[in-house]
Amino acid sequence: MLFLDQKYLEFIENLNEGIWIIDADAKTTFVNTHMAEMLGYTPNEMIGKHIFYFMDEAVIESAKNNLQRRAQGIRESLEFEFKHKNGRKVITSLNTYPLLHNDGKYNGALAAITDITERKDLGKIIHQLEIKFKSIFDYASIGLAILSKDMQIIDANDDFCEKLQYSKDEIFNLSLLSIILPENKSELINNIDKLIDGTSNGFVAEYKFIRKNGSIGWGFTNFFAVKERENKEIKIIFSLRDITEKRNMEYELFKSEALFKSVFENSTAAITIWDSELRNLYTNPAAFDQFGKKRETVPPIRHTCEGLPNLPGFYEKWEKRVLDCFSSGIANQYSDVDQIGSKSISSESYTNPIRDEKGNIFAVAIFFRDVTKRKQIEKESHEQEKFAELGKMAAHLSHEIRSPLASISMNVDLLSKNLKLGERQQKSFEIIDEEIIRLNRLLKEILSFSGEFHLNKMNFDIKEAIENIYSIFKASFKCKNIKFVNSVNSQIVHADADKIKSVFICLIENSMEAIDNNGDIKVYSHCISNDNIFEFFIKDSGCGFENNAKLFDPFYTTKEKGTGLGLPIAKNIIEKHGGTINLVSSRPGETIFKINLPINEKNNQ
């Protein structure tokens, strides 16, 4: 140990790795603090003990072989399992080196050691998830297959094989192109290429497929690409839903003129029928209603544009789709978002070829349905489910962390009071205290976000509440030369005063951080008496937000030390009061948040 003078000891103590030195008899002569803590000991507890003392019996034989290689002068890197003081396994990565006398005689060994237990545990979790995915894949009630980049089927579930009438042995290494009709192959190859080069995340399409017995079926398909964890090889997940019966029913429906009138005239979906010269043969009432046209202004057998809304690019888009349908003879599904006036309209539509008794296409029908409300409801429902699950997970993690964190805090406090600490050690304890406070603050924010709080409602004057908040920030405003204006009208509201204050504190803190120096923050209000709503606005002259769409997403933050929970918690609090919070303006020099808060109990449940 003579070679370990003070400067080398200080260097070794500050390494992120554990350092362990043994003599020729495999007894411990030195460990740094990081190594000792890795196994739950102090360095003094480990000095003098044989290296086998820190192992289970099951690995000692392997350790003996390793020591023989050290004695032969062999360096190596390997993974090895030690035993923690509390009995648990510690999986490590070792870089080991023999130590030799000047005469070349073996004198011991040195190892630089890294704890990889958590990484190994994570690998096990990923493996378990892969097993679960395989189970879901095999027993799904929809046809699923996995394709290689060259579109060979390398795995498929029973439902997929059943739809195509192949056995599993027969389906493997069958090309996807061999079960798709020729007229679909070019489009399919183009879409697959986009998946592989990353220009597309996925696509859906309706294709005709060929069963083993040669019969033709219709399939609604969904494709998306994934990368293997180990080798990053791209695989394509392919789902197939047999819609043959649905297609056959649609065909029969169009053959019947009586049903044609009944269904079309009373359909809530907009329906138009075009001929090959792009003339409008028929438009149902729902189409006139949705497109804002009047039937008498659109004579029959006129160019189809007469029956469509006057939107830039709208005519050209549908002309192309109709002509594509005529040329391919295949029905297609589309999802669009169009701007009609000040409204953004989401729609689902289909082009379907209409054939005569000889199978020739003489017209194309378009089915158009406004799904804006449904999409909004689905989005809100999905967001609620996502945040609910995220909230449960956050709450569970918070509870799991809180107890050990409290124990750490208590023991750190005891140690700092009972030990004689040098300046360096005292600084370390102060850092630990700061991190404990930061983690406790993060836990509090996580619990607030998870919804684990109750509203303690009372009547209070919102203007006075904001004046109280101003007193908190008064010194900070002065320091940054920020002018704060409270123009909120005096109004008694029935709400949880502390939580409403926390919302304003969050927003004002964000405003302060967005202003370098010499800025303005203004809070003003408006009472919507008919709706029993008190409307607040918080405006600042800061730099604005870069990504408004993610503003209220949990854990999204642009701050170096931010948690990304401030605005989601504020949104949660306002919504639990039956109100809303929105960003109405964000640009350099102007950011405005609007809060609508029910005034009385009847609107504030």
Q: What is the pLDDT of residues 272-284, one digit of tens each?
A: 888 888 887 877 8
Q: How confident is the model at residue 60 (pLDDT cuts 50, 70, 90)?
A: very high
As a whole number, the mean pLDDT across the chain is: 80
pLDDT for residue 210 is more than 80 = yes
Of 198-202, 257-261, 294-298, where does the model show the most confidence? 198-202
Residue 299: its pLDDT value, please? 45
Mean of pLDDT values over 1-16: 66
Pairwise pLDDT comparison (74 vs 368), residue with the higher score: 74
Residue 2: its pLDDT value, please? 44
Q: Which residues pair with 113 in a beta bridge?
A: 18, 94
pLDDT for residue 553 is more than 80 = no
pLDDT in tens, 83-128: 999 999 999 999 999 998 888 899 999 999 998 888 776 667 666 6
Q: How confident is the model at residue 258 (pLDDT cuts 50, 70, 90)?
A: low
pLDDT for residue 259 is more than 70 = no
Q: How many other CB atoms are there within 10 angstroms of residue 453's CB atom?
A: 15
Of 46-55, 413-422, 454-463, 494-503, where does the model show the most confidence? 46-55
Residue 601: its pLDDT value, please? 62
Q: Any idea which of 22-26, 84-88, 275-279, 600-604 has the lowest mean pLDDT?
A: 600-604
Q: Any idea which of 89-103, 132-146, 198-212 has the lowest mean pLDDT?
A: 132-146
Cα–chain-centroid distance for residue 367? 34
Pairwise pLDDT comparison (347 vs 489), residue with the higher score: 489
Considering only the C-alpha atoms of the chain, give the largest distance between any 2 of them, rounded to a whole number of Å.
Answer: 109
State the Cα–Cα distance between residues 139 and 35, nearest whole angstrom.
48
State the Cα–Cα distance between residues 163 and 157, nearest whole angstrom.
10
pLDDT in tens, 147-176: 888 888 888 888 888 888 888 888 887 888
The pair of three-digit structure tokens given for residue 128, joined into one six-digit string: 């378990």
Question: Helices 497-514 and 462-480 sit at what angle, rounded to 10 degrees?
Answer: 30
Q: What is the DSSP string of 505-532?
A: HHHHHHHHHH--SSEEEEEEEEEEGGGT
State the Cα–Cα distance between residues 283 and 363, nearest whole angstrom.
13
The pair of three-digit structure tokens given for residue 116, joined into one six-digit string: 């990889």
State the Cα–Cα distance between residues 18 and 28, nearest whole angstrom.
13
Mean of pLDDT values over 500-516: 86
Residue 256: its pLDDT value, please? 66
Of 194-198, 286-290, 537-541, where does the model show the most confidence? 537-541
3 state SS of 267: coil
Pairwise pLDDT comparison (231 vs 386), residue with the higher score: 386
Residue 1: its pLDDT value, please? 46
Pairwise pLDDT comparison (161 vs 267), residue with the higher score: 161
Of 12-26, 231-245, 518-532, where does the model show the most confidence? 12-26
Q: How confident is the model at residue 530 (pLDDT cuts 50, 70, 90)?
A: low
Q: How confident is the model at residue 45 (pLDDT cuts 50, 70, 90)?
A: very high
Q: How confident is the model at residue 547 (pLDDT cuts 50, 70, 90)?
A: low
Residue 116: its pLDDT value, please? 86
Mean of pLDDT values over 290-297: 56
pLDDT in tens, 344-364: 677 788 888 988 878 899 898
Cα–chain-centroid distance for residue 530? 40
Residue 76: its pLDDT value, please? 92
